[in-house]
Amino acid sequence: MTSLPSAPTAPVLELSGVVKEYPGTPPPRILHGIDLTVEAGELLAVVGPSGSGKSTLLALLGSLDRPTSGRLRFEGRDLAGLSDPDLAALRARRIGFVFQQFFLLPGLTTIENVATGLLYGGASISERRTRATEALRSVGLGHRLGHHPDQLSGGEKQRVAIARALIGRPALLLADEPTGALDSVSGTAVVDLLRTLHSDGTTVVVITHDRELAASFPRRIGIQDGRIAFDERLPRHAGAGR
Ligand code: ADP
Ligand code: MG
């Protein structure tokens, strides 16, 4: 294979001096000036004690919330310039979310739950169903299309949630403690799935409490009291394991 110089691509995420305060008197400052760049195709873990600001940071990375000050660029675009509807459109097209709780709608089948991930884009019902079926097959749940969430194990529910996050083919997948509610076998299956997505080119950021899991990632960012305490990269990461 010839290696051609690749076209310069903007980082997926570029944060400089990002501060987050929540309303209050005085407003509690949760993030104290975060500088962080995430390049396309990275797989990174965010670790740190409970209450250190990890979920707050993830909400900013995913444009679910806006910084109090500082600059946040997504694929080279300064998000401060986007209206709320534009941000929502950007999220729907480019970003997938997975949380510790699966947030599946109990009255819907798996296929319907996954199809909700495309509601924003205006795809037809039949296209949503086709894509939902594909997404469920890609997470190994092609045999659970008509099941309801209460008929699924925790690991299966999380894979449905991942399928829902993937159905829009996001460039960036953000996962907040995705294995936190799972037994270790189901957790491993979910992590393997995140790794596969990463191998397929998706940029993946995972908040985790699992030290062993974090240690197996090519890059780890530690958050402590709303600051980046460390940012470690393995120079040549084997990428295997788990
Ligand atoms: P982590 O995910 O690392 O456990 P969080 O980002 O959830 O931490 O929370 C960091 C701090 O921000 C905590 O002290 C939490 O109580 C506070 N916090 C989180 N969300 C809000 C909110 N919506 N309003 C006020 N304070 C909040
Ligand atoms: Mg959290």
For position 211, what pLDDT does the model report?
84
Note the pTM of the prediction, 2 decimals. 0.91
Q: What is the pLDDT of residue 240?
A: 45
CB neighbours of 212 closer than 8 A, spacing ≥ 6? 242
Instruction: Please list every protein residue whose CB sits less than 6 Å from any atom of ligand 1.
Output: 22, 28, 30, 48, 50-56
Beta bridge pairs of residue 37: 14
Atom of ligand 1 nearest to the CA of 57: 6
Residue having the nearest C-alpha atom to atom 20 of ligand 1: 56
Least distant ligand from the CA of 34: 1
pLDDT tens for each residue of the chain, 242 residues long: 555 555 568 999 999 999 999 999 999 999 999 999 999 999 999 999 999 999 999 999 999 999 999 999 999 999 999 999 999 999 999 999 999 999 999 999 999 999 998 887 778 999 999 999 999 999 999 999 999 999 999 999 999 999 999 998 899 999 999 999 999 889 998 899 999 999 999 999 999 988 888 999 999 999 999 999 999 997 655 444 44
Among 55, 57, 101, 208, name the best residue to mutate to test ligand 1's pocket (greatest count of ligand atoms within 8 A of Cβ). Answer: 55
Whole-number Å distance, alpha carbon 142 to ligand 1 midpoint, is 37
Instruction: Provide the pLDDT for residue 4.
Output: 58
Residue minimizing CA distance to atom 19 of ligand 1? 56
For ligand 1, atom 26, the nearest C-alpha belongs to 22
- Report strand pairing: 203-207 vs 219-224: unpaired
Q: What share of the chain is helix, strand, coil (3-state, %, to 5)?
A: 35, 25, 40
Four-point Cα dihedral 143, 200, 14, 187, nearest 10? 40
Report which bound ligand comes closest to the CA of 50. Answer: 1
Domains present along the chain, CATH in parentheses:
13-233 (3.40.50.300)
Extract the runs of DSSP E, i.e. beta strands, from 57-194: 69-74, 77-78, 95-99, 172-176
Q: Indicate which ligand has the atom closest to the C-alpha of 23.
A: 1
